[in-house]
């Protein structure tokens, strides 16, 4: 039996080197025992017996898909992972297409590990909550987090990009990540007692969470799978969940809204594939659930890198009025829902004054990921460029094709560019019904954030009245159109 001692639990380089050496010396998977003892002692193979085998002389290239999967699966907590990956590597010598056979038990298991690890990384990005802590150097932020798999090192660069201007530490039982505004470093695992328990940010989180909680969309099973209970004890907003669930039914009864549908796994898989690869003129998703799944995995431009998640449109699948904004803001990025922050509140107020029930509209954005730059602790909105708008039109077009609204309102210049396909001056085209090639009528008006930013109160009043008038005009066009 060949014993391989890896330096640590996520020692992919050590595993790779040892696996190469074992294979070259013809050590079969059943003859290798993989351990981690922290002693950084790499495999030192016995010289092969004369004439034992000649595996080493045969050229052997490992498929890229295998290397990528192995780098991810090795972060899984299962003790089986090193041996499983070596068994796959060994089999690839004689079964070069093995990785394509998804029904093979070894391939299926490794892929399951990969999926579990991706999910754990996603949860870490969504559920790390920093608490304020001070030290000799001043303000710092500390979070305690228990990832389902060993994803801390792999996920830390995301937090560097997201919180570049904050000094922070993420403490976990496996390893701790530290960002000091210049370098990302790692130290040994910590204890929950090392992290601060409460700070003023908790109240902010609770208020915010309660305000974005949508009882009509509550699915307890789906919510617990999205926000598994294992993460609750470190989430300030989790204390609210039982009460919000208990009151959801009564609140839902007051709301007129069509619940969102959960896409099937098959649909999600197809959406993820198309979100990355599909050329612009290919057939897009065929249901809104697939758009939502695809948007979250979209790699058609680079904005996904610094965003928490993709934010798809929200509203009834047969809405007759579609409202298109620019891109999700800070709060929308965290909530995964369009127009829930200050611009959303301004929009809600104007819709109510125009007599338009928001629950009967489909609200979406030209660009589905939040583009921003860090400034201090804040994330400052950055206007998406024409390339990003064009890349994301694939999703907006899919939403338009699926919802088939009678009227589309473009809120501001970026939305107008996406909806009309060319720069369209807001002031020049207000109060006009613009015929679109798909028989929809387009209307252009101000973006609510523009109204929020206007410094002069009188100008603000005038612009707001115009905004309400434009929404009233659009709703009039809807009512004048043939019934849905």
Footprint of ligand URA (CB under 6 A): 325-329, 332, 338-339, 341, 343-344, 365, 449
CA distance linking residue 144 with residue 198, whole number of Å: 12
| Torsional sign, CA 50, 55, 56, 57 | positive
185-193 contacts at long range (C-beta below 8 A, 24 or more positions apart): 186/152, 186/153, 186/156, 190/144, 192/144
Which residue's entry shows tokens 């127009």? 339
Of 304 and 339, nearer to ligand URA (C-beta) is 339
Which one, of 466, 236, 255, 468, lies nearest residue 349 by Cα? 468
| H or E segment to which residue 188 belongs | strand 184-188
Q: Could you tell me the smallest distance in angstroms from the CB atom of residue 290 to ligand URA?
A: 20
Q: Nearer to ligand URA by C-beta: 294 or 336?
A: 336
Question: Phi and psi for 435 in degrees, rounded to 5?
Answer: -75, 130
Q: What tokens appear for 468 in the block?
A: 């309400």
**Residue 446 region, left (φ>0) first, then alpha (ψ -120 to 50), else beta?**
beta
Nearer to ligand URA, 93 or 211 (CB): 211
Comparing CB distances to ligand URA, the nearer of 237 and 326 is 326
363: which DSSP letter?
Answer: E
Rounded Cα distance, 163 and 143, in Å: 13
Closest approach of Cβ 396 to ligand URA, in Å?
12
Least distance between ligand URA and beta carbon 198 (Å): 30
Q: How far apart are CA 107 and CA 432, in angstroms?
A: 58
| Whether 443 contacts 408, CB under 8 Å | yes
Of the pair 248, 324, the CB lying nearest ligand URA is at 324
Look at residue 275 and give its three-state secondary structure: helix
Q: Which CB atom, from 326 or from 360, has the smaller least distance to ligand URA?
A: 326
Shortest approach of ligand URA to residue 261 CB, angstroms?
Answer: 21
CB of 227 to ligand URA, least distance (A): 22
Q: How far is the CB of 224 from ligand URA (least distance, A)?
A: 26
**445 with 424: CB under 8 angstroms?**
no
What distance in Å separates the CA atoms of residue 382 and residue 220, rounded to the nearest whole number? 35
Give the nearest distance from C-beta 458 to ligand URA in angstroms.
24
The minimum distance between CB 392 and ligand URA, in angstroms, equals 12
By C-beta, is 149 or 369 nearer to ligand URA?
Answer: 369
Which residue number is nearest to ligand URA in terms of Cβ? 325
Inter-residue contact 448 to 347 (CB < 8 Å): yes
Question: Which residue lies nearer to ligand URA by CB, 10 or 327?
Answer: 327
- Give the nearest distance from C-beta 331 to ligand URA in angstroms: 8
Q: Which is nearer to ligand URA, 289 or 448 (CB)?
A: 448
127: tokens are 């559920």
């Amino acid at each position: 039996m060949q014993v391989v001692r890896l330096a640590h639990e996520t020692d992919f380089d050590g595993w790779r080197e040892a696996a190469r050496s074992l294979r070259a010396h013809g050590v079969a998977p059943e003859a290798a025992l993989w351990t981690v003892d922290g002693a950084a002692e790499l495999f030192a193979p016995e010289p092969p017996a004369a004439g034992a085998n000649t595996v080493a002389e045969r050229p052997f290239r490992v498929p890229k898909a295998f290397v990528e999967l192995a780098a991810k699966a090795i972060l899984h907590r299962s003790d089986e992972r090193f041996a499983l990956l070596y068994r796959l590597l060994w089999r690839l010598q004689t079964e070069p297409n093995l990785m394509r056979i998804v029904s093979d038990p070894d391939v299926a298991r490794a892929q399951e590990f990969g999926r579990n690890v991706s999910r754990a990384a996603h949860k870490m990005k969504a559920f790390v909550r920093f608490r304020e802590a001070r030290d000799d150097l001043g303000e710092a932020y500390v979070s305690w987090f228990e990832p389902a798999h060993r994803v801390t090192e792999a996920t830390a660069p995301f937090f560097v990009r997201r919180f570049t201007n904050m000094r922070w530490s993420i403490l976990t039982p496996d390893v701790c990540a530290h960002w000091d505004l210049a370098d990302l470093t790692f130290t040994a695992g910590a204890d929950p007692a090392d992290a601060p328990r409460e700070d003023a940010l908790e109240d902010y989180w609770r208020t915010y969470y309660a305000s974005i909680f949508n009882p009509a969309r509550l699915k307890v099973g789906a919510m617990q799978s999205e926000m598994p209970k294992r993460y609750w004890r470190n989430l300030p907003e989790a204390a609210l969940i039982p009460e919000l669930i208990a009151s959801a039914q009564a609140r839902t009864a007051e709301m007129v809204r069509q619940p969102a549908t959960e896409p099937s796994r098959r649909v999600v898989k197809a959406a993820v594939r198309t979100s990355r690869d599909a050329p612009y003129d290919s057939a897009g998703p065929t249901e809104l659930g697939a758009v939502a799944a695809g948007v979250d995995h979209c790699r058609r431009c680079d904005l996904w890198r610094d965003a928490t998640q993709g934010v798809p449109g929200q509203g009834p699948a047969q809405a007759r009025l579609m409202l298109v904004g620019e891109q999700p803001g800070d709060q929308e990025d965290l909530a995964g829902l369009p127009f829930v922050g200050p611009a959303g509140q301004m929009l809600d107020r104007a819709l109510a004054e125009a007599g338009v029930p928001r629950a009967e509209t489909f609200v979406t954005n030209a660009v589905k990921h939040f583009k921003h730059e860090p400034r201090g602790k804040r994330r400052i909105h950055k206007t998406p460029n024409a390339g990003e708008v064009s890349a994301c039109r694939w999703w907006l077009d899919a939403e338009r094709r699926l919802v088939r609204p009678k009227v589309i309102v473009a809120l501001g210049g970026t939305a107008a560019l996406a909806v009309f396909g060319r720069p369209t001056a807001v002031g020049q085209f207000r109060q006009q019904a613009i015929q679109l090639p798909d028989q929809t009528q387009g209307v252009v008006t101000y973006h609510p954030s523009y109204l929020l930013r206007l410094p002069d109160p009188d100008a603000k009043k005038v612009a707001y009245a115009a905004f309400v008038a434009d929404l009233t005009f659009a709703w009039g066009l809807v009512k004048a159109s043939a019934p849905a």
